Structure 1
């Protein structure tokens, strides 16, 4: 027999599915026409949606993993695991219409509809929940069981099959984002909510509104937001625009300081682009990087640009940045363009021998210790790197803020190009290191061989938390002048066609 556990508030209004929870709009958002400062677009759009009744309804109720076990064990990859010995988790599912989004009437269909599931463990700890975007049920269940934290799952973000400007082409994922960028830059002052991460971020905030209503018995009002790739990008933006977001864990969203990241990508591949960049290449984003319209796009899209805005303090919320050592999109050393500029509590993990999609294997092992630390008010471990030898500028001293139980040095070499994509056959090898009593290890960046070397240090702590240094590429100042060899599939490049300064 299914047990329906709805809040009294939900039951009272379930007949029409519209839930009135409106919030005031900031004065800066009440002006007519475009926002003079693009950094207000996200917050103003979120506040405008919050003025409208929330449109959602209850769908179902289950016990997990009991009723989920057959499904999980039959369709998920082998690295996923649900422990049936742990207490069951209550799973309530809902449908949410987060918004009707069609700036200037350019996009159809307008309605964004999502599946939202709330995973409630037996003994709930604290008033902060996790909001995870498009992650699998086993990850949700494991986080709930292992941290005693309520987990909210949001699916179908971004909305699929979007058609822009009557071009009769339904688009998804990066193709949809690229098309939204292209149309925004055609008329940036009149299309400020058109970049696709704007409604993506808003869908997160609308889900937070739903969860706050349904979780009133547990007094949940704050959220740790996590997602991968474009959903990780949206996690950054939700953290900036929504004060209910108190921490973020973005996976493979190496996009801060976006313009410099794009230029670094171009140089890394010898004046070419990785094949993963194709959706943006198809929409001519590379041709617009040095144009004023792109700068206006970045005022909305680039999280690092909010340092100089009224939302600057939001960048200081705790953040655990998890990247892939062999990402298909992003060069391994992208973080040098932003990490040291980020304020507040922060930590990084580089997943060794992983491509963009392979980061799924590292989600549970990253999220569980992070959430536990947040709930228990335990600081994140810090990893600092400093020059250690005045006579050898390639020597570094790595210092950990707490004692690691395991330290590993990961190294990869590409003798032909500065390309460390996993799908191009690059593999990092590991070397165990022993930390001193002062919790330090030495890192040598010396390399005199052909091509380039990539290296980073990984530390594992007693609670399973993993933190790394950034990836260091040697020689750092040298870039190739030709494209790396193509091996087909995800190991290809697209020709450069514009002078990127």
Structure 2
């Protein structure tokens, strides 16, 4: 996702809305109204069914809505392992259309989490408007909102609604096909689909947990200012927005309204469900410590999963830059989902960054239960831009009954970034839960 940090405007919250016989969380009225609006063209059909040893898969065709006169149709892949509960489903939203690769990915996840997995594809509908895709398309719809004042224009709204309609479809489908109909959803997605994940969680009470990936941009106006300080300017990845005059934010009430509608920060009080935020330490889209601008304000259970030496694709790279794999991120998401499905509580973590009398940097973590292992990850840079920095780790000695503590020398020049990584396991799935990272400079006291 190419996006930018921009504004947050306090808005009055609407009363709870009701649509299609289900509760929709109270949200600022533009998003709530769009999600609740009737969609006469909504429909779904089963297009294909395949049975393999221990697993069954369906391909559904879903029409979620008509937006600005354009019909949004999606492939919805559903994979169910044999003899598993079907009351809770992992629902991921992605771009593209059905393929063998996507079906195999869904089957891989279903096997890991021991529950049904659904992949909603075609989010967003694209290309549109003279071939525009992804962030160029989102920026186009933002400009059209600024020009018209029509609050249905921002592309995030139909993206959210497509996920809401996928939940409707999966509940209707499961009532026909499975003995246990689906009741709750764990929703996830990457980049702008992670953005959609946040906004869907703010909109629909059926979302029991979320795992937004590589969307490190909540509290958008502060993020933009922080990018200027950390990167020496805005990230080159957000050019679809800067080139259209959307960044810096125009000083108009309508522009402020736009960013308040689509910034998940606006809805942060609604994010009381468990959350696993999945990030790559070398993602060129965001400042390295962008999470620190919104982490403390998130309510409820929350966890961080950093992948060191990985960019926007969450794929680790070796010292030569060769791509390895995304196993760490996949396993962390799968383990988080297993906790939600089993009802087993996730570890309780708390941490504190500090500075010792000799100037060394200290990180102390309390963990219940204690981790099986812990590591300190460190990167160095001449500036606060760590996107090209190499992360290395060292084991942290665990002391029975005590906190996990680590120290690192303050840099003699430039800057250092560091965080701790605690290792756990559930049902054979490895999981690494991280602390916030701290950036410190040689000149800092």
Quickly name the TM-score band, shorter chain normalised.
Answer: 0.7 to 0.9
After superposing the two structures, state which structure 1 stretch, 206-215 or 393-402, moved more: 393-402
Q: What residue in structure 2 maps to residue 407 of structure 1?
A: 374
Q: What residue in structure 1 maps to residue 105 of structure 2?
A: 139
Structure with the largest fraction of strand: 2
* TM-score with structure 1 setting the length: 0.75
Q: How does 1:209-224 map to 2 (within 5 A)?
A: 209-216=168-175, 217=178, 218-224=180-186
d(CA) in 2 for partners of 1:172, 1:133: 16
* TM-score with structure 2 setting the length: 0.84
Of 399, 416, 438 in structure 1, the residue corresponding to residue 401 of structure 2 is 438
Q: What residue in structure 2 maps to residue 93 of structure 1?
A: 59
Q: Partner of 2:248: helix, strand, or coil?
A: helix
Change (3 A) 1:193 1:475: farther
Q: Partner of 1:263: helix, strand, or coil?
A: helix
Of 415, 419, 429 in structure 2, the residue corresponding to residue 452 of structure 1 is 415
1:63 is aligned to 2:51: yes
Q: What residue in structure 1 maps to residue 150 of structure 2?
A: 191
d(CA) in 1 for partners of 2:152, 2:91: 23
Q: CA deviation at 1:45?
A: 1.5
Q: What residue in structure 1 maps to residue 246 of structure 2?
A: 285
d(CA) in 2 for partners of 1:445, 1:61: 55
Q: Partner of 1:467: helix, strand, or coil?
A: strand
Q: CA deviation at 1:28?
A: 12
- Residue deviations 1:23-54 (CA, integer Å, cap 9, x gap): 2599999xxxxxxxx822222212214x6463
Change (3 A) 1:248 1:476: farther
d(CA) in 2 for partners of 1:427, 1:275: 20
Change (3 A) 1:27 1:345: closer
d(CA) in 2 for partners of 1:366, 1:315: 20
Q: Which has the larger radius of gyration?
A: 1
Q: What residue in structure 1 maps to residue 341 of structure 2?
A: 375
Q: Is the 8 A contact 2:231 2:287 kept in 1?
A: no
The structure 1 segments of at least 4 consecutive aligned residues displaced by more than 6 Å after TM superposition are 25-29
- Residue deviations 1:307-365 (CA, integer Å, cap 9, x gap): 4xxxx3x3101110011100110111011101111001111111111011235814421
Q: Partner of 1:286: helix, strand, or coil?
A: coil
- Structure 2 unaligned segments of length 5 or more: list them: 1-18, 96-101, 316-324
Change (3 A) 1:353 1:210: same
- Residue deviations 1:238-282 (CA, integer Å, cap 9, x gap): 011011111100110112111111221122122x22221111112
Count, aligned residues = 404
d(CA) in 1 for partners of 2:197, 2:292: 20
Q: CA deviation at 1:127?
A: 0.9
Q: How does 1:58-457 map to 2 (within 5 A)?
A: 58-64=46-52, 87-102=53-68, 110-125=70-85, 127-134=87-94, 136-163=102-129, 169-187=130-148, 190-216=149-175, 217=178, 218-270=180-232, 272-288=233-249, 291-307=252-268, 312=269, 314-359=270-315, 361=326, 362-387=328-353, 391=357, 394-415=361-382, 417-421=383-387, 424=388, 426-438=389-401, 440-444=403-407, 446-457=409-420
After superposing the two structures, state which structure 1 stretch, 247-256 or 296-305, moved more: 296-305
1:40 is aligned to 2:29: yes
Q: What residue in structure 1 maps to residue 438 of structure 2?
A: 472
d(CA) in 2 for partners of 1:289, 1:407: 46
Q: Is the 8 A contact 2:303 2:433 kept in 1?
A: yes
Q: CA deviation at 1:477?
A: 9.2
- Residue deviations 1:4-37 (CA, integer Å, cap 9, x gap): xxxxxxxxxxxxxxxxxx72599999xxxxxxxx
Q: Partner of 1:159: helix, strand, or coil?
A: coil
d(CA) in 2 for partners of 1:228, 1:279: 18
- Structure 1 unaligned segments of length 5 or more: list them: 1-21, 30-37, 65-86, 164-168, 479-501
